[in-house]
């Protein structure tokens, strides 16, 4: 039996908001871990449904689970609140509508201990549920990547970036002392994951990257963070592109392969911005949407990225054609079509996105 008074190996942090249909499954996947030496913080972020009560029911049965109730402040501040009182040697950040394979924590801790790593990066599954039936399952993995030294990690980080492995927090195990010593916390903004991870990798020296995948990210809720219309999405994507260029300038490791990866990710995200702008959830009129798209197409950074990007699929080259031509009407129609496919044919949208 694990002594609940002793400092655990892993502190699992889980923000909870409007997930009463899913949070029990997420907690069960932590309870089912082969590694037993953990603590779980379920942070009820002012959820208006029974999510907090469900967490309390589990906490009443297992002393390793702590429930924090707070006014709604968003996932970043919820995670930060738990980090302030967590005692584990490592942090693992989990979303409350996802699940993890039973050997995830044991395997990731084993890699961290064996390699004295401050950061372990793994693959993950994306399970897209749409219209009933079996989900479309995509495996995100970069294959073996040499991260045996901080120089090797910096030279090969673009391979992890290319497979989206540097964006989320939930495919990673973080050494708690590394985060605490540098005061690294989640910034109070939407899409807080990526700037948090950039702060982590900025000076990290001991990294392990494994092609194994244990975490199962669920795309299924219409109200989830990944399904919302996002005002300011384009500005955030531009900011992310600048962050990456600044990071590589600091590292001094901008190879042609890394530059192409960053540029390709940038122009592909422009397509996502078109879909977001053309969405029916966007409050602008069609005319205002086209004016907004026209401004997006005129940004110099996009032209620079097109010089370096080499899209890898035929459908992505076709999607980028009106963007490259700066054809406002074509981009507006394309965004409208993509929005329709995403809302009505979720699995098809996921397949296209996976094969880009």
Per-residue pLDDT for 232 more than 70?
Answer: yes
For the chain, the maximum distance between any two Cα atoms, rounded to a whole number of angstroms, is: 64
Q: How many domains does the chain have?
A: 2
Q: What's the rounded mean pLDDT across residues 209-227?
A: 76
Classify residue 3: in a domain, yes or no.
no
Residue 169 sits in the same domain as residue 254? no
Residue 55 sits in the same domain as residue 186? yes
As given in the structure block, the two tokens for residue 259 are 């530059």
What is the average pLDDT score of the chain? 93
Classify residue 113: in a domain, yes or no.
yes
Nearest CA to 105 out of 179, 8, 3 is that of 8
Among residues 168, 192, 225, which one ends one of the domains? 225
Residue 89 sits in the same domain as residue 179? yes
How would residue 224 be classed by pLDDT, with cut points 50, 70 and 90?
very low
Q: What's the rounded mean pLDDT across residues 126-149?
A: 85
- pLDDT tens digits along 13-64: 999 999 999 999 999 999 999 999 999 999 999 999 999 999 999 999 999 9
Residue 49 sits in the same domain as residue 189? yes
Residue 91 sits in the same domain as residue 130? yes
- 49, with CB counted inside 10 A (0-12, 13-18, 19+), is middle
Residue 64 sits in the same domain as residue 188? yes
Residue 251 sits in the same domain as residue 211? no
Which residue range forms the structural domain that includes residue 194? Answer: 10-225
Residue 173 sits in the same domain as residue 239? no
Q: CA 316 to CA 293: how far, in whole Å?
A: 19
Classify residue 5: in a domain, yes or no.
no
Whichever domain contains 147, its CATH number is 3.90.550.10
Classify residue 86: in a domain, yes or no.
yes
Among residues 210, 225, 240, which one ends one of the domains? 225
Residue 35 sits in the same domain as residue 85? yes
Among residues 225, 255, 283, which one ends one of the domains? 225
Residue 28 sits in the same domain as residue 57? yes
Residue 236 sits in the same domain as residue 220? no
Residue 220 sits in the same domain as residue 238? no
């Amino acid at each position: 039996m694990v002594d609940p008074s002793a400092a655990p190996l892993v502190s699992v942090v889980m923000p909870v908001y409007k997930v009463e249909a899913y949070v029990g499954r997420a907690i069960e996947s932590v309870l089912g871990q082969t590694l037993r030496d953990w603590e779980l913080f379920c942070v009820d972020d002012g959820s208006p449904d029974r999510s907090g009560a469900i967490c309390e029911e589990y906490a009443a049965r297992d002393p390793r689970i702590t429930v924090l109730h707070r006014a709604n402040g968003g996932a970043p501040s919820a995670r930060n609140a738990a980090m302030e009182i967590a005692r584990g040697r490592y942090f693992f950040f989990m979303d409350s509508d996802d699940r993890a394979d039973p050997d995830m924590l044991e395997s990731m801790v084993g890699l961290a201990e064996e390699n004295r790593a401050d950061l372990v990066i793994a693959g993950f599954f994306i399970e897209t549920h749409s219209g009933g039936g079996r989900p479309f399952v995509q495996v995100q993995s970069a294959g073996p990547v040499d991260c045996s030294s901080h120089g090797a990690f910096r030279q090969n980080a673009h391979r992890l970036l290319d497979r989206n492995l540097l964006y989320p927090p939930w495919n990673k195990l973080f050494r708690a002392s590394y985060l605490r010593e540098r005061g690294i916390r989640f910034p109070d903004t939407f899409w807080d994951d990526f700037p948090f991870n950039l702060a982590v990798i900025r000076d990290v020296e001991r990294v392990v990257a494994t092609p194994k995948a244990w975490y199962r990210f669920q795309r299924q809720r219409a109200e989830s963070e990944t399904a919302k219309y996002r005002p300011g999405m384009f500005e955030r994507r531009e900011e992310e592109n600048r962050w990456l260029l600044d990071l590589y300038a600091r590292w001094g490791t901008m190879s042609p392969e890394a530059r192409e990866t960053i540029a390709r990710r940038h122009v592909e995200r422009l397509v996502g911005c078109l879909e977001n702008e053309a969405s029916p959830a966007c409050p602008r009129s069609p005319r205002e949407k086209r004016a907004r798209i026209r401004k997006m197409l005129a940004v110099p950074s996009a032209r620079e990225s097109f010089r370096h990007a080499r899209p890898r699929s035929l459908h992505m080259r076709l999607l980028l054609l009106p963007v490259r031509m700066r054809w406002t009407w074509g981009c507006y129609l394309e965004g409208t079509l993509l929005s329709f496919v995403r809302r009505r044919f979720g699995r098809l949208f996921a397949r296209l996105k996976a094969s880009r």
